[in-house]
Structure 1
Amino acid sequence: MNKQDLIAAVADQAGISKADAGKAVEAVFDGITSTLKSGGEVRLVGFGTFSVTKRKASTGRNPRTGEAMTIKASTQPKFKAGKGLKDAVN
């Protein structure tokens, strides 16, 4: 399922136009993104939790040359599925 499929599914289930569903989906994505940017987390009970983790700098190897290189520290988004989602999938 891609973004357009998701918008179509939301529009169909909610009985709204695809334009309104598109705005709603974009608003949800924007809300999650802005919260994660500020270092917070988004908990959707029964679905899951979006959070941010920090990765330390590390040393890796260039796969082509085998040369050692440093990998910068970074902040990564993380999603942990909730019980309701796990039960629905299994």
Structure 2
Amino acid sequence: MNKSELVKALADAHNLTQEEAKDMVNTFFDSIKDALEQGDRVEIRGFGSFKIKHYEGYKGRNPKTGEVVDVQPKRLPFFRAGKGLKEHLNK
């Protein structure tokens, strides 16, 4: 399922226009992104949680040329599935 399919499913399920459903989906995702950007953890009970993992910089190697390169520190999103989602998928 992609974002436009999610918008359509929300619109159909709750008798909304496509534009209203699109605004709701965008607000939902923007809220998650904003919370993660501020360093907060986002937990949706029964579904899962999102958090940011911090990775330190390190010396890497280009596998093609063998050249040593500096890999910059980074923050990456991490999702952990909740118990309810796991149980739903494994019933």
Match for residue 86 of structure 1? 86
The equivalences for 1:1-90 within 5 A come to: 1-90=1-90
How many residues align structurally?
A: 90
Q: Secondary structure at 2:9's aligned position in 1?
A: helix
Output the amino acid matched with 1:27.
T
TM-score, normalised to structure 2, is 0.92
Q: Deviations over 1:19-51 (max 9, x none)?
A: 111000000011000000000011100000011
Give the gaps of 5 or more residues in structure 2: none
- Percentage of pairs with the same residue: 39
Give the alignment's Cα RMSD to 1 decimal: 1.0
TM-score, normalised to structure 1, is 0.93
Distance 1:46 1:84 in 2: 4
The runs of 4+ residues in structure 1 deviating greater than 2 Å are none
